[in-house]
Chains A and B, each alone.
Chain A
Amino acid sequence: MKLGVEERWDLIDRISKETVTFGVYRHTLKDAIGELTIKPMTGIPVAIAILYGFWSVFGSFAGFFTDGFFVRLFDAYWLPWLQAVFPGEGGWLYAIMVDAGGIESGEFVLSSNCLESFGVLTSGLFVAIGVVLPAILIFYLMLAILEDIGYMPRLAVLIDTMLHKIGLHGYAIVPTILSLGCNVPGVTATRILETKKQRFIMMTLLAIFIPCGAQIGIMQDVVPDLMGWILLYLIIGYFIFGYILNKVIPGRAPEFLIDVPPYRRPMLSNIGKKVLGRVKGFFMVALPFVMLGCAIVGVFYQLGVIRFLGDLLAPIFVGWFGVPAETAGPLVAAFLRKDLAVAQLSVIEMTKYQMITAVVLVSIYFPCVATFVMMLKEGLKELIGALAVLAVTVFLYGGLIHLIGKLLGVA
Protein backbone atom coordinates (compact mmCIF):
# COMPACT_ATOMS: atom_id res chain seq x y z
CA MET A 1 0.00 0.00 0.00
CA LYS A 2 1.19 3.49 -0.79
CA LEU A 3 0.52 6.50 1.36
CA GLY A 4 -0.17 10.04 0.27
CA VAL A 5 2.31 12.76 1.19
CA GLU A 6 0.25 13.91 4.17
CA GLU A 7 -0.49 10.42 5.44
CA ARG A 8 3.18 9.54 5.26
CA TRP A 9 4.18 12.60 7.24
CA ASP A 10 1.46 11.95 9.82
CA LEU A 11 2.86 8.48 10.31
CA ILE A 12 6.40 9.85 10.64
CA ASP A 13 5.21 12.39 13.20
CA ARG A 14 3.70 9.60 15.24
CA ILE A 15 6.80 7.42 14.98
CA SER A 16 9.05 10.35 15.79
CA LYS A 17 7.01 11.24 18.87
CA GLU A 18 7.58 7.71 20.17
CA THR A 19 11.24 7.34 19.38
CA VAL A 20 12.99 10.70 19.17
CA THR A 21 13.66 13.31 21.84
CA PHE A 22 14.83 16.68 20.62
CA GLY A 23 16.85 18.47 23.28
CA VAL A 24 17.70 22.13 23.29
CA TYR A 25 19.81 22.97 20.30
CA ARG A 26 22.66 25.36 20.82
CA HIS A 27 23.99 27.32 17.92
CA THR A 28 27.61 26.61 17.15
CA LEU A 29 30.33 28.61 15.49
CA LYS A 30 29.86 26.40 12.43
CA ASP A 31 26.20 27.49 12.16
CA ALA A 32 27.22 31.13 12.48
CA ILE A 33 29.79 30.82 9.69
CA GLY A 34 27.21 28.92 7.66
CA GLU A 35 24.77 31.81 7.90
CA LEU A 36 27.36 34.52 7.31
CA THR A 37 28.46 32.86 4.08
CA ILE A 38 24.93 32.57 2.71
CA LYS A 39 23.50 35.97 3.68
CA PRO A 40 24.08 38.27 0.69
CA MET A 41 25.62 41.20 2.60
CA THR A 42 28.45 39.07 3.93
CA GLY A 43 28.23 36.05 1.64
CA ILE A 44 28.83 37.82 -1.67
CA PRO A 45 32.09 39.54 -0.59
CA VAL A 46 33.27 36.21 0.87
CA ALA A 47 32.42 34.41 -2.39
CA ILE A 48 34.36 36.97 -4.43
CA ALA A 49 37.33 36.65 -2.09
CA ILE A 50 37.25 32.87 -2.30
CA LEU A 51 37.05 32.83 -6.10
CA TYR A 52 39.81 35.42 -6.36
CA GLY A 53 41.97 33.41 -3.99
CA PHE A 54 41.23 30.29 -6.02
CA TRP A 55 42.37 32.03 -9.21
CA SER A 56 45.54 33.47 -7.64
CA VAL A 57 46.67 30.16 -6.18
CA PHE A 58 45.85 28.41 -9.45
CA GLY A 59 47.88 30.89 -11.49
CA SER A 60 50.92 30.98 -9.26
CA PHE A 61 51.05 27.24 -8.59
CA ALA A 62 50.63 26.27 -12.25
CA GLY A 63 53.08 28.98 -13.32
CA PHE A 64 55.62 27.92 -10.74
CA PHE A 65 55.71 24.33 -11.93
CA THR A 66 55.32 24.99 -15.64
CA ASP A 67 57.78 27.88 -16.03
CA GLY A 68 60.03 27.03 -13.15
CA PHE A 69 60.41 23.36 -13.84
CA PHE A 70 58.81 21.80 -16.90
CA VAL A 71 59.80 24.48 -19.43
CA ARG A 72 63.45 24.02 -18.48
CA LEU A 73 63.21 20.26 -18.42
CA PHE A 74 61.53 20.03 -21.80
CA ASP A 75 63.33 22.82 -23.65
CA ALA A 76 66.83 22.33 -22.31
CA TYR A 77 67.00 18.54 -22.14
CA TRP A 78 64.12 16.65 -23.68
CA LEU A 79 63.79 18.54 -26.99
CA PRO A 80 67.51 18.75 -27.92
CA TRP A 81 67.98 15.12 -26.95
CA LEU A 82 65.06 13.94 -29.12
CA GLN A 83 66.11 16.21 -31.98
CA ALA A 84 69.51 14.56 -31.87
CA VAL A 85 68.57 10.90 -31.49
CA PHE A 86 65.33 10.66 -33.51
CA PRO A 87 66.19 9.44 -37.00
CA GLY A 88 65.21 11.10 -40.26
CA GLU A 89 65.52 14.82 -39.54
CA GLY A 90 63.36 16.83 -41.94
CA GLY A 91 61.27 13.79 -42.89
CA TRP A 92 57.54 13.50 -42.28
CA LEU A 93 57.71 11.10 -39.33
CA TYR A 94 60.30 13.34 -37.68
CA ALA A 95 58.03 16.32 -38.24
CA ILE A 96 55.01 14.62 -36.72
CA MET A 97 56.73 13.01 -33.77
CA VAL A 98 59.49 15.48 -32.87
CA ASP A 99 59.86 18.74 -34.73
CA ALA A 100 58.14 20.23 -37.75
CA GLY A 101 60.80 22.92 -37.64
CA GLY A 102 60.70 25.95 -39.84
CA ILE A 103 62.25 27.20 -43.05
CA GLU A 104 64.58 30.15 -42.62
CA SER A 105 66.21 31.63 -45.71
CA GLY A 106 65.55 28.40 -47.56
CA GLU A 107 67.04 26.14 -44.94
CA PHE A 108 65.40 23.72 -42.52
CA VAL A 109 65.98 24.86 -38.93
CA LEU A 110 65.06 23.06 -35.74
CA SER A 111 62.75 24.68 -33.18
CA SER A 112 64.22 26.04 -29.99
CA ASN A 113 61.36 25.15 -27.67
CA CYS A 114 58.59 22.64 -27.15
CA LEU A 115 55.80 25.07 -27.93
CA GLU A 116 56.97 25.66 -31.48
CA SER A 117 58.06 22.19 -32.45
CA PHE A 118 54.56 20.67 -32.76
CA GLY A 119 55.69 17.06 -32.44
CA VAL A 120 53.64 14.45 -30.60
CA LEU A 121 56.56 13.61 -28.32
CA THR A 122 57.61 17.20 -27.80
CA SER A 123 54.71 19.68 -27.89
CA GLY A 124 52.13 16.98 -27.18
CA LEU A 125 53.93 15.62 -24.17
CA PHE A 126 54.95 19.06 -22.94
CA VAL A 127 51.39 20.37 -23.09
CA ALA A 128 50.02 17.27 -21.40
CA ILE A 129 52.56 16.93 -18.61
CA GLY A 130 54.25 20.29 -18.33
CA VAL A 131 51.24 22.55 -18.70
CA VAL A 132 48.07 20.58 -18.09
CA LEU A 133 49.12 18.31 -15.24
CA PRO A 134 50.08 21.08 -12.77
CA ALA A 135 47.02 23.12 -13.77
CA ILE A 136 44.60 20.23 -13.38
CA LEU A 137 46.16 19.03 -10.14
CA ILE A 138 45.95 22.36 -8.29
CA PHE A 139 42.54 23.08 -9.75
CA TYR A 140 40.98 19.82 -8.60
CA LEU A 141 42.72 19.99 -5.24
CA MET A 142 41.21 23.38 -4.43
CA LEU A 143 37.83 22.40 -5.81
CA ALA A 144 37.81 19.20 -3.74
CA ILE A 145 38.52 21.21 -0.59
CA LEU A 146 35.65 23.61 -1.32
CA GLU A 147 33.36 20.65 -2.03
CA ASP A 148 34.39 18.71 1.03
CA ILE A 149 33.84 21.52 3.51
CA GLY A 150 30.41 22.05 1.94
CA TYR A 151 30.90 25.46 0.37
CA MET A 152 29.52 24.72 -3.11
CA PRO A 153 25.79 24.72 -2.22
CA ARG A 154 26.23 28.15 -0.64
CA LEU A 155 27.94 29.48 -3.72
CA ALA A 156 25.05 28.03 -5.72
CA VAL A 157 22.52 29.91 -3.58
CA LEU A 158 24.41 33.19 -3.96
CA ILE A 159 24.68 32.94 -7.73
CA ASP A 160 21.18 31.57 -8.34
CA THR A 161 19.68 34.96 -9.22
CA MET A 162 22.11 35.45 -12.10
CA LEU A 163 21.89 31.94 -13.48
CA HIS A 164 18.11 31.94 -13.21
CA LYS A 165 18.05 34.66 -15.88
CA ILE A 166 19.57 32.25 -18.40
CA GLY A 167 17.18 29.39 -17.72
CA LEU A 168 19.50 27.60 -15.32
CA HIS A 169 19.69 27.85 -11.58
CA GLY A 170 22.32 28.20 -8.90
CA TYR A 171 23.49 24.61 -9.01
CA ALA A 172 24.65 25.15 -12.60
CA ILE A 173 27.72 26.73 -11.00
CA VAL A 174 28.95 23.20 -10.19
CA PRO A 175 29.17 21.91 -13.79
CA THR A 176 30.50 25.32 -14.83
CA ILE A 177 33.37 25.30 -12.35
CA LEU A 178 34.10 21.61 -12.91
CA SER A 179 34.39 22.33 -16.63
CA LEU A 180 37.17 24.80 -15.96
CA GLY A 181 39.17 21.68 -15.09
CA CYS A 182 37.89 19.43 -17.84
CA ASN A 183 34.63 19.60 -19.75
CA VAL A 184 34.06 15.85 -19.44
CA PRO A 185 33.17 15.75 -15.72
CA GLY A 186 31.42 19.08 -16.32
CA VAL A 187 29.03 17.42 -18.75
CA THR A 188 28.56 14.59 -16.25
CA ALA A 189 27.62 17.08 -13.55
CA THR A 190 24.74 18.48 -15.64
CA ARG A 191 22.77 15.63 -14.09
CA ILE A 192 21.86 17.85 -11.17
CA LEU A 193 19.71 19.95 -13.48
CA GLU A 194 16.04 19.09 -13.73
CA THR A 195 14.85 19.32 -17.30
CA LYS A 196 16.12 18.45 -20.75
CA LYS A 197 16.04 22.12 -21.63
CA GLN A 198 18.27 23.03 -18.71
CA ARG A 199 20.72 20.25 -19.43
CA PHE A 200 20.87 21.24 -23.09
CA ILE A 201 21.53 24.91 -22.29
CA MET A 202 24.15 23.95 -19.75
CA MET A 203 25.98 21.49 -21.98
CA THR A 204 25.98 23.85 -24.93
CA LEU A 205 27.32 26.72 -22.83
CA LEU A 206 29.99 24.48 -21.31
CA ALA A 207 31.14 23.23 -24.67
CA ILE A 208 31.29 26.72 -26.13
CA PHE A 209 32.25 29.19 -23.43
CA ILE A 210 34.07 27.33 -20.69
CA PRO A 211 37.75 26.78 -21.45
CA CYS A 212 39.16 23.67 -19.81
CA GLY A 213 42.25 23.44 -17.61
CA ALA A 214 44.40 22.54 -20.61
CA GLN A 215 43.44 25.72 -22.42
CA ILE A 216 43.63 27.94 -19.37
CA GLY A 217 47.00 26.48 -18.49
CA ILE A 218 48.43 27.18 -21.92
CA MET A 219 46.87 30.65 -22.14
CA GLN A 220 48.33 31.46 -18.74
CA ASP A 221 51.67 30.32 -20.10
CA VAL A 222 51.77 32.06 -23.48
CA VAL A 223 49.46 35.09 -23.21
CA PRO A 224 49.27 35.81 -19.46
CA ASP A 225 48.67 39.56 -19.87
CA LEU A 226 45.58 39.00 -22.03
CA MET A 227 43.88 36.47 -19.72
CA GLY A 228 41.55 39.01 -18.13
CA TRP A 229 40.13 40.16 -21.46
CA ILE A 230 39.77 36.66 -22.83
CA LEU A 231 37.92 35.43 -19.75
CA LEU A 232 35.74 38.55 -19.72
CA TYR A 233 34.66 37.89 -23.31
CA LEU A 234 33.92 34.26 -22.46
CA ILE A 235 31.85 35.16 -19.39
CA ILE A 236 29.88 37.80 -21.29
CA GLY A 237 29.27 35.30 -24.10
CA TYR A 238 28.11 32.68 -21.57
CA PHE A 239 25.41 35.01 -20.31
CA ILE A 240 24.38 36.54 -23.66
CA PHE A 241 23.97 33.20 -25.40
CA GLY A 242 22.49 31.58 -22.29
CA TYR A 243 19.85 34.31 -22.28
CA ILE A 244 19.11 33.75 -25.97
CA LEU A 245 19.00 29.96 -25.61
CA ASN A 246 16.59 30.26 -22.70
CA LYS A 247 14.26 32.35 -24.85
CA VAL A 248 14.53 30.15 -27.95
CA ILE A 249 14.49 26.62 -26.59
CA PRO A 250 11.13 25.22 -25.59
CA GLY A 251 10.69 23.47 -22.26
CA ARG A 252 10.55 24.21 -18.57
CA ALA A 253 13.24 25.88 -16.53
CA PRO A 254 12.16 24.98 -13.01
CA GLU A 255 13.39 26.87 -10.00
CA PHE A 256 16.05 26.00 -7.58
CA LEU A 257 15.42 23.67 -4.65
CA ILE A 258 18.51 22.48 -2.83
CA ASP A 259 19.65 21.16 0.46
CA VAL A 260 22.32 23.28 2.15
CA PRO A 261 24.30 20.88 4.33
CA PRO A 262 26.23 22.19 7.35
CA TYR A 263 29.95 22.86 7.02
CA ARG A 264 32.19 20.05 8.07
CA ARG A 265 35.85 19.47 8.60
CA PRO A 266 37.45 18.39 5.30
CA MET A 267 38.71 14.82 5.31
CA LEU A 268 42.11 14.27 3.77
CA SER A 269 41.17 10.81 2.52
CA ASN A 270 38.05 12.17 0.81
CA ILE A 271 39.93 14.98 -0.87
CA GLY A 272 42.79 12.74 -1.88
CA LYS A 273 40.47 10.19 -3.40
CA LYS A 274 38.53 12.83 -5.31
CA VAL A 275 41.60 14.58 -6.69
CA LEU A 276 43.30 11.32 -7.67
CA GLY A 277 40.13 10.02 -9.29
CA ARG A 278 39.63 13.17 -11.33
CA VAL A 279 43.26 13.56 -12.35
CA LYS A 280 43.31 9.88 -13.29
CA GLY A 281 40.05 10.31 -15.19
CA PHE A 282 41.53 13.24 -17.03
CA PHE A 283 44.61 11.34 -18.04
CA MET A 284 42.72 8.22 -19.07
CA VAL A 285 40.06 10.07 -21.06
CA ALA A 286 41.57 13.32 -22.16
CA LEU A 287 45.28 12.58 -22.50
CA PRO A 288 44.92 10.02 -25.32
CA PHE A 289 42.94 12.65 -27.19
CA VAL A 290 45.68 15.24 -26.62
CA MET A 291 48.31 12.95 -28.11
CA LEU A 292 46.10 11.64 -30.89
CA GLY A 293 44.94 15.15 -31.74
CA CYS A 294 48.56 16.22 -31.91
CA ALA A 295 49.37 13.38 -34.28
CA ILE A 296 46.39 14.11 -36.54
CA VAL A 297 47.22 17.81 -36.66
CA GLY A 298 50.79 16.86 -37.59
CA VAL A 299 49.62 14.51 -40.36
CA PHE A 300 47.20 17.12 -41.71
CA TYR A 301 49.96 19.71 -41.79
CA GLN A 302 52.22 17.32 -43.66
CA LEU A 303 49.47 16.47 -46.16
CA GLY A 304 48.71 20.15 -46.68
CA VAL A 305 45.11 19.73 -45.51
CA ILE A 306 45.39 22.48 -42.94
CA ARG A 307 47.05 24.89 -45.37
CA PHE A 308 44.30 24.15 -47.91
CA LEU A 309 41.47 24.73 -45.42
CA GLY A 310 43.29 27.72 -44.02
CA ASP A 311 43.56 29.34 -47.44
CA LEU A 312 39.93 28.53 -48.12
CA LEU A 313 38.71 30.03 -44.85
CA ALA A 314 41.23 32.87 -44.61
CA PRO A 315 38.88 35.45 -46.17
CA ILE A 316 36.31 34.75 -43.42
CA PHE A 317 38.95 34.90 -40.70
CA VAL A 318 40.41 38.13 -42.03
CA GLY A 319 37.22 39.84 -43.18
CA TRP A 320 34.71 38.75 -40.57
CA PHE A 321 36.79 38.12 -37.46
CA GLY A 322 39.55 40.61 -38.23
CA VAL A 323 42.50 38.33 -37.47
CA PRO A 324 45.62 38.03 -39.67
CA ALA A 325 45.70 35.45 -42.47
CA GLU A 326 48.52 33.50 -40.75
CA THR A 327 46.10 32.50 -37.99
CA ALA A 328 44.03 30.44 -40.43
CA GLY A 329 46.24 27.38 -39.99
CA PRO A 330 46.12 27.31 -36.18
CA LEU A 331 42.41 28.17 -36.18
CA VAL A 332 41.72 25.16 -38.39
CA ALA A 333 43.98 22.98 -36.26
CA ALA A 334 42.01 24.18 -33.24
CA PHE A 335 39.19 21.89 -34.32
CA LEU A 336 41.41 19.08 -33.07
CA ARG A 337 43.65 20.59 -30.40
CA LYS A 338 42.73 23.87 -28.80
CA ASP A 339 45.73 24.00 -26.50
CA LEU A 340 48.21 23.46 -29.34
CA ALA A 341 46.38 26.04 -31.42
CA VAL A 342 46.79 28.64 -28.66
CA ALA A 343 50.49 27.84 -28.55
CA GLN A 344 50.73 28.23 -32.33
CA LEU A 345 48.85 31.51 -32.23
CA SER A 346 51.15 32.92 -29.59
CA VAL A 347 54.13 32.90 -31.96
CA ILE A 348 52.31 34.74 -34.77
CA GLU A 349 52.84 38.46 -35.06
CA MET A 350 49.60 40.39 -34.47
CA THR A 351 48.00 43.13 -32.42
CA LYS A 352 46.85 42.50 -28.87
CA TYR A 353 43.22 42.77 -29.85
CA GLN A 354 43.66 40.33 -32.71
CA MET A 355 45.31 37.94 -30.28
CA ILE A 356 42.39 38.27 -27.86
CA THR A 357 39.93 37.63 -30.71
CA ALA A 358 41.87 34.62 -31.99
CA VAL A 359 42.21 33.00 -28.56
CA VAL A 360 38.53 33.60 -27.75
CA LEU A 361 37.65 32.02 -31.12
CA VAL A 362 39.74 28.97 -30.32
CA SER A 363 38.03 28.68 -26.94
CA ILE A 364 34.49 28.84 -28.25
CA TYR A 365 35.24 26.48 -31.13
CA PHE A 366 34.26 22.90 -31.54
CA PRO A 367 34.52 21.05 -28.20
CA CYS A 368 37.37 18.61 -27.74
CA VAL A 369 36.76 15.05 -28.89
CA ALA A 370 36.38 13.69 -25.35
CA THR A 371 33.62 16.21 -24.59
CA PHE A 372 32.04 15.44 -27.93
CA VAL A 373 31.80 11.74 -27.02
CA MET A 374 30.42 12.64 -23.59
CA MET A 375 27.68 14.79 -25.14
CA LEU A 376 26.81 12.02 -27.56
CA LYS A 377 25.97 9.88 -24.52
CA GLU A 378 23.23 12.36 -23.62
CA GLY A 379 21.70 11.90 -27.05
CA LEU A 380 22.43 12.41 -30.75
CA LYS A 381 19.68 14.98 -31.17
CA GLU A 382 21.10 17.09 -28.34
CA LEU A 383 24.59 16.84 -29.77
CA ILE A 384 23.52 17.97 -33.24
CA GLY A 385 21.52 20.78 -31.69
CA ALA A 386 24.49 21.87 -29.62
CA LEU A 387 26.76 21.84 -32.66
CA ALA A 388 24.30 23.94 -34.66
CA VAL A 389 24.15 26.47 -31.83
CA LEU A 390 27.93 26.37 -31.68
CA ALA A 391 28.42 27.15 -35.36
CA VAL A 392 26.04 30.10 -35.21
CA THR A 393 27.57 31.33 -31.96
CA VAL A 394 31.16 31.24 -33.22
CA PHE A 395 30.16 33.17 -36.32
CA LEU A 396 28.07 35.78 -34.52
CA TYR A 397 30.19 36.23 -31.43
CA GLY A 398 33.45 36.31 -33.40
CA GLY A 399 31.93 39.03 -35.60
CA LEU A 400 30.65 40.90 -32.55
CA ILE A 401 34.08 40.91 -30.92
CA HIS A 402 35.54 42.28 -34.15
CA LEU A 403 32.83 44.94 -34.23
CA ILE A 404 33.47 45.93 -30.61
CA GLY A 405 37.15 46.20 -31.43
CA LYS A 406 36.35 48.47 -34.38
CA LEU A 407 34.11 50.65 -32.27
CA LEU A 408 36.79 50.91 -29.61
CA GLY A 409 39.25 51.73 -32.35
CA VAL A 410 41.61 48.87 -31.51
CA ALA A 411 40.87 46.44 -34.32
Chain B
Amino acid sequence: MKKKLSEMDYDEQGTVTEIKEDLRKRVAGMGIRVGKKLRMVTKQPIKGPVDVVVDGAETSLGLDMAEKITVEVA
Protein backbone atom coordinates (compact mmCIF):
# COMPACT_ATOMS: atom_id res chain seq x y z
CA MET B 1 0.00 0.00 0.00
CA LYS B 2 1.28 3.45 -0.93
CA LYS B 3 1.05 6.39 1.40
CA LYS B 4 2.72 9.70 2.01
CA LEU B 5 5.56 9.77 4.50
CA SER B 6 3.50 12.26 6.51
CA GLU B 7 0.71 9.69 6.83
CA MET B 8 2.83 6.82 8.10
CA ASP B 9 2.25 5.41 11.57
CA TYR B 10 4.77 5.36 14.38
CA ASP B 11 7.47 2.75 13.77
CA GLU B 12 6.04 1.84 10.37
CA GLN B 13 8.55 0.80 7.72
CA GLY B 14 8.45 1.17 3.98
CA THR B 15 10.35 1.77 0.76
CA VAL B 16 10.47 5.19 -0.88
CA THR B 17 8.78 5.07 -4.29
CA GLU B 18 8.60 8.72 -5.21
CA ILE B 19 10.07 12.05 -4.18
CA LYS B 20 8.74 15.23 -5.80
CA GLU B 21 11.27 16.72 -8.18
CA ASP B 22 11.87 19.96 -6.23
CA LEU B 23 12.77 18.09 -3.06
CA ARG B 24 15.01 15.38 -4.51
CA LYS B 25 18.26 17.34 -4.44
CA ARG B 26 17.59 18.80 -1.01
CA VAL B 27 17.22 15.44 0.70
CA ALA B 28 19.72 13.53 -1.44
CA GLY B 29 22.67 14.48 0.74
CA MET B 30 20.87 13.15 3.81
CA GLY B 31 20.59 9.71 2.16
CA ILE B 32 16.85 9.89 1.46
CA ARG B 33 16.12 8.65 -2.06
CA VAL B 34 13.84 6.49 -4.16
CA GLY B 35 14.31 2.79 -3.47
CA LYS B 36 15.54 3.24 0.09
CA LYS B 37 13.96 1.58 3.08
CA LEU B 38 12.97 3.91 5.87
CA ARG B 39 11.29 3.81 9.23
CA MET B 40 9.07 6.57 10.56
CA VAL B 41 10.18 7.10 14.15
CA THR B 42 7.84 9.83 15.29
CA LYS B 43 6.08 13.02 14.30
CA GLN B 44 5.47 16.12 16.35
CA PRO B 45 1.95 17.37 17.07
CA ILE B 46 0.31 20.42 15.42
CA LYS B 47 1.86 20.01 11.97
CA GLY B 48 5.31 19.41 13.38
CA PRO B 49 8.23 17.70 11.66
CA VAL B 50 8.46 13.99 10.83
CA ASP B 51 11.38 11.91 12.03
CA VAL B 52 12.72 9.07 9.88
CA VAL B 53 15.61 6.63 9.99
CA VAL B 54 17.36 5.74 6.73
CA ASP B 55 20.41 3.46 6.79
CA GLY B 56 20.82 4.03 10.52
CA ALA B 57 20.86 7.80 10.09
CA GLU B 58 18.06 9.80 11.67
CA THR B 59 16.68 12.82 9.86
CA SER B 60 13.89 15.17 10.84
CA LEU B 61 12.01 16.93 8.05
CA GLY B 62 9.21 19.46 7.97
CA LEU B 63 5.67 18.25 7.31
CA ASP B 64 5.41 19.88 3.87
CA MET B 65 8.51 17.96 2.80
CA ALA B 66 7.17 14.73 4.25
CA GLU B 67 4.06 15.20 2.12
CA LYS B 68 6.20 15.20 -1.01
CA ILE B 69 7.61 11.75 -0.31
CA THR B 70 5.62 8.61 -1.17
CA VAL B 71 6.36 5.33 0.54
CA GLU B 72 5.32 1.77 -0.26
CA VAL B 73 4.35 0.26 3.07
CA ALA B 74 4.54 -3.49 3.40
Q: In the complex, is A directly touching B at CB under 8 Å?
A: yes
Contact partner, A161, options B10, B34, B45, B51, Cβ 8 Å: B45
Interface stretch (choices A234-242, A258-266, A274-282) = A258-266
Interface stretch (choices A31-39, A94-102, A311-319) = A31-39
Which residues of the partner chain A approach B57 to less than 8 Å between Cβ atoms? 259
Contact between B41 and A160, CB atoms less than 8 A apart: no
Q: Which positions 21-74 of chain B face chain A at CB distance < 8 Å?
A: 24-28, 30, 33-35, 41-42, 44-49, 51, 56-65
Main SS class of interface, B = mixed
In this complex, how many residues of chain A approach chain B with their Cβ under 8 Å: the count is: 29
Give CA–CA (A157, B34) in the complex, Å: 24
Contact partner, B60, options A5, A40, A260, Cβ 8 Å: A260
B interface residues, Cβ below 8 angstroms from A: 10, 24-28, 30, 33-35, 41-42, 44-49, 51, 56-65
Interface residues as binary, A147-165 with B (CB distance below 8 Å gives 1, 0 otherwise): 0000001001110110010
Which of chain A's residues has its CB closest to B19's CB? A5
Give CA–CA (A168, B26) in the complex, Å: 18
Give CA–CA (A257, B22) in the complex, Å: 14
Contact between B44 and A40, CB atoms less than 8 A apart: yes
For the complex formed, measure the closest distance between the CB of A239 and the CB atoms of chain B, giving whole angstroms: 14
Contact between A258 and B33, CB atoms less than 8 A apart: no
Contact between A160 and B25, CB atoms less than 8 A apart: no
Top 9 A-B pairs ranked by shortest CB distance?
A255-B62, A161-B48, A260-B58, A39-B42, A157-B60, A256-B62, A5-B28, A257-B61, A160-B49
Q: Which positions 210-248 of chain A face chain B at CB distance < 8 Å?
A: none
A77 at the interface (CB under 8 A from B): no
